[in-house]
Amino acid sequence: IWTSSYPLHITTFISDGAATTFITAYRPVSSTITLNGTDNEMVKNTTATALSSISTTTGVATLSAAGTAGDLHVLTYSTNYVPV
């Protein structure tokens, strides 16, 4: 169970094999990135995977590597629903 003092938002990104960033719909409240235990949890093809970074001002999420075309990334993050 994941709890947060803020609302949670889920966004998805399907890799094209070259891009290493995507933009969230809303500003995250935290830029902390680790596996299992932060406000920004990402799963890549059903495996927990940490982002390289995430911006609380622009909403840009940076992947550690481009990966393979078709990789499915699912990011769950805490937000105050402030649009990017």
The model carries a pTM of 0.90
Residue reference for tokens 């001002």: 57
Q: Kindly give the residue spans of alpha helices, DSSP state H, lying in 1-84.
A: none
DSSP H or E stretch at residue 60 = strand 60-62
- Taking the chain (84 residues) in runs of 10, the rounded mean pLDDT of each run is 86 96 96 82 93 96 93 95 94
> What pLDDT shows up at residue 49?
92
> What pLDDT shows up at residue 62?
96
